[in-house]
Amino acid sequence: MRERVGGVQYSTKWRARGRSARSVLGMPPLARFAWGVLVYDVAVVDWGAYVRATGSGAGCGRHWPMCNGEILLRAPRVETLIELSHRITSGGAFFLTVALALWALRSFPRGHRVRRSASVSVALMATEALIGAGLVLLELVAHDASMKRALGMSLHLINTFLLLGSTALTAWWASGGGAARLRRQGALVLALGLPLLAMIVVGTSGAVTALGDTLFPAASVADGLAQDFSPSAPLFVKLRTVHPILAISTAVAVIFATGLVRALRPTRAVAISSKAAAVLVVTQVTAGLLDVALRAPVAMQLIHLALADLVWVALVLTAAAALAEAEEPVGTNLPNSHPPCEISGPPPAAMDS
């Protein structure tokens, strides 16, 4: 049997075990776990950027999933430890995502959106692992500057965005978010779809640009500009001039779109997520410009990527909140929301004074 708690349907077996379906934060345990998996995934993605920025991608040689053909390493190098730690944390993300999907399958009925999004997250996590393994096995790591690596990095970024988006939707819907409705919402779909598509484009260009900063470091800003405009410069370097333009244009589109969505859907959930997206995208562009001025230090690259991931997640959540069905309000499970109270007994007119 199942019962409904705050707009979310859960199996009664959890309550039979004496567990509360709501935490002190006002959301079910599954929702809290999903949000935690999302935060962990963002951290793992950022650590992967550290592997790339430090040139440690070949630290385990042409071996996967084992490291240098060994299970227990003897006298490993720093690069090996960095790459191995990324594989371990990535493996943890995979098992957490599988656990999230199994929990969702046990807690929600067949065909429920939480089950679907959690299952998609597992598929995307598997694809993420396969892309990472392919980069290692094909030796598209360390100082490789081929177009195959650029394509692989772009596919990796797109899959990462989709993975973070599906995990964010799992957490949102598990928290009580209503199902998305696309019919007769053309203006909203267009307003949200364009900046989401722009984020994918600017994200892929940013991934290749960051790789260029690693492979072709500039001694100074002037030296970097000379490299950028050189006719013989590789694609990795040429994108240094294109990426900032794309990033600023995308930021403008995100700010405009989030303002439009707030006007069309003036709800608390939309206001929170859309304003967060606008603030984050301004911060992200500022961090990108600072990254260029400082000649792409590793710390700034990590901050820049983390902000890009957060902008993407905020946009996905804005879309989920704005497109939610009216009969299941998305704000019912926010921390400051409370279900209506029921008063038992006779109506006020029949009460004794």
Query: What's the mean pLDDT in 271-300?
Result: 93
Portion of the chain with pLDDT greater than 70, in percent: 81
Q: Where are the chain's structural domains?
A: 25-177, 180-327
Taking the C-alpha atoms of residue 83 and residue 55, their distance in angstroms, rounded to an integer, is 10
Quickly count helices (H) and strands (E) in the chain.
Answer: 10, 2
pLDDT at 5 over 70: no
3-state secondary structure 35-72: HHHHHHHHHHHHHHHHHHHCCCCCCCCCCCCCECCECC
pLDDT interval class at 335 (50, 70, 90): very low
Q: Give Rg (Cα) of the chain.
A: 23
What average pLDDT does range 72-76 have in this prediction? 64
AA identity, residue 101: A
Name the pLDDT band for 64 (thresholds 50, 70, 90).
confident
pLDDT of residue 25: 53
pLDDT number for residue 73: 66
Strand partners, 11: 2
The pLDDT score that the predictor gives to residue 22 is: 43
- Per-residue pLDDT, averaged over 59-70, amounts to 77
In what helix (H) or strand (E) does residue 11 lie, and over which residues does it extend?
strand 8-11
Give the pLDDT band (50/70/90) at residue 74: low
What are the tokens at 148? 């195959």
- pLDDT for the residue 186: 85
Q: DSSP class of residue 18?
A: T
pLDDT value at 333 more than 50: no
pLDDT for residue 12:
43
pLDDT of amino acid 325: 65
The predicted model gives 37-57 an average pLDDT of 93
Instruction: Report pLDDT for 143.
Output: 82
Vertex 274 angle, CA 206 and 122, to 5°: 60
How many CA atoms within 13 Å lie on the side-chain side of 115? Answer: 10
Higher pLDDT, residue 210 or 169: 169
Which one has a higher pLDDT value, 120 or 350? Answer: 120
Rounded to whole angstroms, the Cα distance separating 295 from 117 reads: 39
Q: What are φ and ψ of residue 9, in 5° steps?
A: -90, 125
pLDDT tens by residue, 18-41: 333 343 357 899 999 999 999 999
What sign for the dihedral angle of Cα 25, 30, 35, 41?
Answer: positive
Average pLDDT over the chain, rounded to an integer: 83
The residue-averaged pLDDT of 208-233 equals: 77
DSSP secondary structure letters along 71-137:
SS-SS--HHHHHHHHHHHHHHHHHHHHHHHHHHHHHHS-TT-HHHHHHHHHHHHHHHHHHHHHHHHH
* pLDDT at residue 169 greater than cutoff 70: yes
pLDDT value at residue 328: 38
pLDDT digits (tens, 9 = 90+) for 105-146: 999 999 999 999 999 999 999 999 999 999 988 888 888 888
